[in-house]
Amino acid sequence: MLDFPHDIHTHSAYSDGVGGIGDNVAAAEVRGLRLLGISDHSHYLTGRAFNRYIREVRRWREESGITVLAGIEANITHNGVDVAAGMVEKLDYVIASVHLWLDDPEEYVELVKGALLDESVDIIGHFGASFPHIGYPDEESLRELIELAEASGKAFEISSRYRVPDISFIRECIRRGVKLVFASDAHRPRDVGSVSWSERVFKKAGGTKEDLLFGEFL
């Protein structure tokens, strides 16, 4: 059992996941989560599909005994974060992630800085997932990034799928009051709530409920 049973990063068949939103909710209930976030990819959710998506998440929120939030996973691009203002107002939160293939870790950091300055963004998704492949940015730029998150009130997810960020980054977030959230990045219902790595590293870094973005729901 988890001490902080939540998962804010799950996909459904509304984007590249399998299974319906209701299947994710059912899986979350079985696993004893108190908070589930649905966060399908923004580029699948255009026009009517977005409105259907929001309606369906809200319906499951009514029917479920646990808190179900409507999120989205937007892309951090060279032209900004791809979520429209009209969408943001209907969402409970926005995750922004780098999905571009970059070969320079400092370029990655610059893109994330842009997202930290974007007022539609709440959470940075799987920060540093590609560092093992493209190399690591220097300590100085990581520190600047966390300072910027502190100043702009943004959170980072702790991704069990990619096992990022590392513990020293998480410790620094906690030290500066930058909020954190657990994320499975499940693409099928049976992976919903697979956040034990997130919780383990969070606790090891000294995290408590006050350090979690959605702690009030737990």
What are the residues binding Zn ion (CB under 5 A)? 73, 97, 185
Q: How far is the CB of 125 from Zn ion (least distance, A)?
A: 5
Between residues 73 and 211, which has the closer beta carbon with respect to Zn ion?
Answer: 73
Helix axes 167-176, 196-204, angle to 10 degrees: 60
Tokens of 95: 């995750």
Any bridge partners for residue 37, and if so which? 69
Residue 34 or 187 having the CB closest to Zn ion = 187
Comparing CB distances to Zn ion, the nearer of 98 and 174 is 98
| Least Å from the CB of residue 128 to Zn ion | 12
| Residue (7 or 73) nearer to Zn ion, CB | 73
Please give the structure tokens belonging to residue 162.
Answer: 């990619």
In single-letter form, the type of residue at position 202 comes to: F
Residue nearest Zn ion, CB atom distance? 97
In the complex, least distance from residue 170 CB atom to Zn ion, rounded to whole angstroms: 18
Q: What is the Cα–Cα distance from 139 to 169, expressed in whole angstroms?
A: 10
Six-digit token string for 161: 């799928």
Structure tokens at 37: 């976030």
CB of 140 to Zn ion, least distance (A): 26
Place of tokens 């990034």: 145
Cβ(46)–Cβ(75) below 8 Å: no
Choose between 25 and 76: whose C-beta lies nearer to Zn ion: 76
Question: Least separation, in Å, of the C-beta of 177 and Zn ion?
Answer: 25
